[in-house]
């Protein structure tokens, strides 16, 4: 939420009509919950390589998810600033779950 506020004030743009604060906060929490379930499942199925496979898949899916903002087709009457700056904003938000996961995982999962 801090990132969105700083980005909006720096660029003098308001993305709140497109994406609410709760939407990107909720999507980050949802992404981390899915990551937790995926991590648990992979470690149960393949204990020796589960974490390595999970890290690779999580990074791959994170990079694949930015194709949405990159490939979005805007209406012809959309504001040029919105077309320019919103995809960069959205792509940055797509990396929050993986950053949060790799930052907080060592606090909760110890070997």
Could you read off the pLDDT of 48-77 as tens digits, one per residue? Answer: 999 999 999 999 999 998 888 888 787 777
- The one-character DSSP state at 78 is S
Q: Are 28 and 97 in contact (CB under 8 A)?
A: yes
- CA separation for the pair 38, 40 (Å, rounded): 5
For the cut 80, the answer to whether the pLDDT of residue 16 exceeds it is no
Residue 82 lies in a domain: yes
- CA separation for the pair 9, 58 (Å, rounded): 31
Rg of the chain over all Cα atoms, to the nearest angstrom: 17
Q: Which domain holds residue 92?
A: 2-31+65-108
Residue 54 lies in a domain: no
Residue 14 lies in a domain: yes
Residue 80 lies in a domain: yes
Global pTM?
A: 0.74
Residue 57 lies in a domain: no
Residue 89 lies in a domain: yes
Number of domains in the chain: 1
Residue 51 lies in a domain: no
- The one-character DSSP state at 9 is H
């Amino acid at each position: 939420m801090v990132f969105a506020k700083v980005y909006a004030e720096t660029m003098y743009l308001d993305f709140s009509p497109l994406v609410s604060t709760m939407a990107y906060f909720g999507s980050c929490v949802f992404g981390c919950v899915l990551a937790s379930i995926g991590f648990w499942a992979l470690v149960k199925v393949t204990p020796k390589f589960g974490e390595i496979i999970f890290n690779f898949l999580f990074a791959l899916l994170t990079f694949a998810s930015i194709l949405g903002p990159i490939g979005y087709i805007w209406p012809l009457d959309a504001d040029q600033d919105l077309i320019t700056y919103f995809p960069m904003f959205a792509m940055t938000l797509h990396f929050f779950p993986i950053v949060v996961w790799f930052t907080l995982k060592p606090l909760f999962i110890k070997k």
